Structure 1
Amino acid sequence: MDNLQELTDHLKNPEKINTNILKKPIEFQGICYICKKEFIYESIPEKWGSPSKKQDFCSDKCKAKYKDDIYQEKLRLMPIKFRDIECDRKDLVRQGMDHSLFITGASGVGKTVLMAGVVKELLKAKKDKIEWISYPGFIMELQSMFRKEGENTPFDMAERIATYPGTLCIDDMGAEKMTAFVQQITYYIINYREMEMLHTLITSNFSLQQIDEQIDTRVSSRIAGMCKVIKLTGKDRRLEKENN
């Protein structure tokens, strides 16, 4: 009787067995996502006859092209000018992947190229939650919202940028005309990201001392606490290209 009860209990709660190990791979026909050619591949069939591991590419070449197409699409978050320029400061790029950076220097020394280099490596590492803003353009857009009727206010937009959970890239901070409104918005964004320890990359022609004098002491203090400061020096690369 005990044996019969044990058997009954076992049948009610059978152990799950991976039946796939008892099956052999069979041939399936696929259509390549890239070149649209038909191809044959092998896979162990599921219960209803579909492949357990579906293949979408006929070759490694097509698979690599798909990955590159996805990468190029993601690069659209940054200005066209910087998508194909390679940054030669790999040491600084690596720092920017793990730490917030404040990249300062004169015009044309490669500040935005460096920030773009960090973004490219983040994308390759599948860290693709990235927001890129040109700060002067961002401020102009905020100011224009005062003249428009709509549900969203300038402060709603500023909040979205400040609280962005991924990497925030702020290009050309300090180039905009400084007003009390700009000071308020800039402090709000930088303070929030410093307090929440959110990954932030900033480029500026201003040094921290100039930000202290021209924008706000609190802003320069928060940037210093949040970012590694990278000062780039050298000649204006744009002028060198024109002369050559």
Structure 2
Amino acid sequence: MDYKKIQDIKKWHQENITKIGIPNRFINCDKSTIEKYIWNKALLAINNNNGLYIYGPVGTGKTYLACTILKEKLLEYKPYLINIGLNIKNNSQNMPELTTILHEEIIEKIQVPDGGSITKMKEADIAEDLGLVFVQPLINIDFVGFNTLLRKIKGTFTMKESTYDENIENESSIVANYSDCLILCIDDLDIEKLSDWSKNILYEIIENRYCNKLITIITTNYNHKELAKKYSDKIVSRLCEMCEPIKLAGTDRRLSKYQKKAAAKKNK
């Protein structure tokens, strides 16, 4: 593979960081800045098909850690350059066995590894040079803020039945999307001013993911006991079984950074 194609793959990964929902502020998050013990514990849990329950005070790096983990898992998805007409077998978890390539179309034969999951191929883009097919895997990772999730669903309530379109998102399709993806991060799980409807939405997503053994990452300011006071025991019980607890301590990094800047200006 030439240098240009390697760069194309790096660009593909970079573009998909935002497509899976990672906020712009965390696009460049780097695992080297995370405490080694915390990083190794979190990555080991994810690689063992467990989720994470990341909790601690405001500004301790919970979202940063979650986004860095998602970026690390995104690297496991690799687009492939394939010579047209060749039979290729690849048993990777994120790549189906390609048994036939005919007239620029890929005929898929899906293999599901034991205890694993596999993504289907989304499309095949024909490279202009070398007669290659650029095969892109369908990314099966999502990041969403809890309040953003609720607003997204509420935004569909004004849709009239007469204008219903199966291609337009509705409550059921949004819940299904976050229930079924291979890895989901629900960021900033709040316990303030929660309606029964909000709790039911969360329970439905968590229950589906629990039953299907899908990786779930939660970030919140609250420990399990505090969360249990607002949510049902059923939700917290499932999260306890699904997720490895990761406690982040320390001072508010954002506030500390602001105070240092303010002090520097004052001393000028």
TM-score of the superposition, structure 2-length normalised? 0.64
SS at match of 1:119: helix
1:223 aligned onto 2:172: no
Q: Which residue is 2:11 aligned to?
A: 69
How far the C-alpha of 1:170 sits from its partner, in A, is 0.9
- CA distance in 2 between partners of 1:115 and 1:96 (Å): 12
Pairing 1:99-138 to 2, within 5 Å after superposition: 99-126=50-77, 128-138=139-149
How far the C-alpha of 1:137 sits from its partner, in A, is 0.8
1:160 aligned onto 2:177: yes
Q: Contact 2:42–2:52 at 8 Å: present in 1 too?
A: no
Which of 46, 71, 92 is the matching residue for 2:41? 92
Q: Contact 1:211–1:219 at 8 Å: present in 2 too?
A: no
Q: Contact 1:169–1:200 at 8 Å: present in 2 too?
A: yes
- CA distance in 1 between partners of 2:42 and 2:140 (Å): 17
How far the C-alpha of 1:75 sits from its partner, in A, is 1.0
1:170 aligned onto 2:183: no
Structure with greater strand share of residues: 2
- CA distance in 2 between partners of 1:82 and 1:233 (Å): 20
- CA distance in 2 between partners of 1:109 and 1:92 (Å): 17
Q: Contact 2:227–2:236 at 8 Å: present in 1 too?
A: yes
- Tell me the amino acid that sits aligned with residue 210 of structure 1: E
How many residue pairs get aligned? The number is 185
Pairing 1:180-191 to 2, within 5 Å after superposition: 180-191=196-207
SS at match of 1:106: coil
Q: Which moved more, 1:184-193 or 1:144-153?
A: 144-153
SS at match of 1:215: coil
- CA distance in 2 between partners of 1:176 and 1:74 (Å): 32
Q: Which residue is 1:8 aligned to?
A: none
SS at match of 2:11: helix
| Residues 161 and 176 of structure 1, relative CA distance in 2, 3 Å threshold | farther
- Tell me the amino acid that sits aligned with residue 40 of structure 2: D
- Tell me the amino acid that sits aligned with residue 236 of structure 2: S
- CA distance in 2 between partners of 1:75 and 1:228 (Å): 24
How far the C-alpha of 1:230 sits from its partner, in A, is 0.8
- CA distance in 2 between partners of 1:68 and 1:206 (Å): 37
- CA distance in 2 between partners of 1:199 and 1:82 (Å): 21
Higher relative contact order (CA 8 A, sep 6+): 2
How far the C-alpha of 1:176 sits from its partner, in A, is 6.2
| Residues 96 and 86 of structure 1, relative CA distance in 2, 3 Å threshold | farther
- Tell me the amino acid that sits aligned with residue 161 of structure 1: Y
- CA distance in 2 between partners of 1:163 and 1:177 (Å): 27
What is the alpha-carbon root mean square deviation over aligned residues? 1.9
How far the C-alpha of 1:191 sits from its partner, in A, is 1.1
How far the C-alpha of 1:93 sits from its partner, in A, is 4.0
TM-score of the superposition, structure 1-length normalised? 0.70
- CA distance in 2 between partners of 1:157 and 1:86 (Å): 30
Q: Contact 2:189–2:218 at 8 Å: present in 1 too?
A: yes
- Tell me the amino acid that sits aligned with residue 214 of structure 1: K
Structure with greater helix share of residues: 1
1:80 aligned onto 2:24: yes
| Residues 80 and 108 of structure 1, relative CA distance in 2, 3 Å threshold | same
1:147 aligned onto 2:158: yes
Q: Which moved more, 1:216-225 or 1:152-161?
A: 152-161
How far the C-alpha of 1:175 sits from its partner, in A, is 5.6
What percent identity do the matched residue pairs reach?
A: 26
Q: Contact 1:86–1:117 at 8 Å: present in 2 too?
A: yes
Q: Which moved more, 1:76-85 or 1:170-179?
A: 170-179
Deviations 1:119-142, CA, capped at 9 Å, x for gaps: 111112226421111110110121
SS at match of 2:159: coil
| Residues 65 and 93 of structure 1, relative CA distance in 2, 3 Å threshold | farther
- Tell me the amino acid that sits aligned with residue 66 of structure 1: D
